[in-house]
Amino acid sequence: MKCILLCAGYATRLFPLTENFPKALLEVGGRPIIDYTLDEVNTIDEVDGIFLVTNSKYAPHFKEWAAKKNNVKPIVVIDDGTTTNDDRLGAIGDIDFTLNKCGINDDILVLATDNLFTFSLKDFYNFYKLKNAPVICVREEKNRELLKRLGVAEISEENMQVIGFEEKPAEPKGKYGVYAEYIYPKNVLPIIKEYLADGNSSDAPGNLVAYMHQRIPTFAYSFEGECYDVGTHDALAMVNKLYSNK
């Protein structure tokens, strides 16, 4: 299994902090945000390579970080060639770019790196092994206003299969918010190419889930714990306070 870390967004809501510096390397509790994610990736023995895809603006920062990190699993930093928010490839575009650039033909663990989560990635992986099919991370959300800002999945309670999906719906039909952690077996990789070839949006990764679950059985791992989206100055201050107290 290969891990793809998505780090190519421009984090415009966090300007000026991220105008020339990547959000994933901002410190929370004295450590870069991405380090917490990396800790979890390292618990999965089957992951034998980590591919961090970023843009030309942030690539030097990530290369310096990776060199100093000397991680137990090798990290390859991929520059997607974009320089502004206007010409970004989008999350799905970056997944496809990385697959092509690095010749990846394995199962893939795809993770956003601007989230801080408290659940176990190893448990998520074990659920994937049980289903042997595409799996996504979800949490039951009682706050409907929050659901309107997330991808929302309708799930069969019998076997946790995804039976419906909407990205940021005005009126959510499901109760499960979808978070940006995914595992796709290698037989799904052609579906990613098909999705893009059909002219679909290359941006929000949830759009791929909406497309995929209609073509191949896709399942949802419901986690307990927190997943903080560090997307604004207020959110950054909040998680810094939480993690500093830890």
User: pLDDT value at position 245?
Assistant: 77
Q: Tell me the one-letter amino acid at 26.
A: L
Among left, alpha and beta (phi > 0; psi -120 to 50; other), residue 22 is: beta
Residue 231 has what pLDDT?
A: 86
Phi, psi of 63, deg, nearest 5? -65, -40
Distance between CA atoms of 80 and 63, rounded to whole angstroms? 14
Sequence-distant (6+) residues with CB within 8 A of 44 are 1, 3, 109, 121, 122, 125
* Cβ atoms within 10 Å of 27's Cβ, excluding its own: 12
Q: What is the pTM of this model?
A: 0.95
Question: What's residue 229's pLDDT?
Answer: 85
What is the Cα–Cα distance from 34 to 32, expressed in whole angstroms?
A: 5
Instruction: Give the residue ranges of the chain where pLDDT is below 50.
Output: none
What is the reported pLDDT for 246? 66
Closest CA to 48 of 73, 76, 78, 75: 73
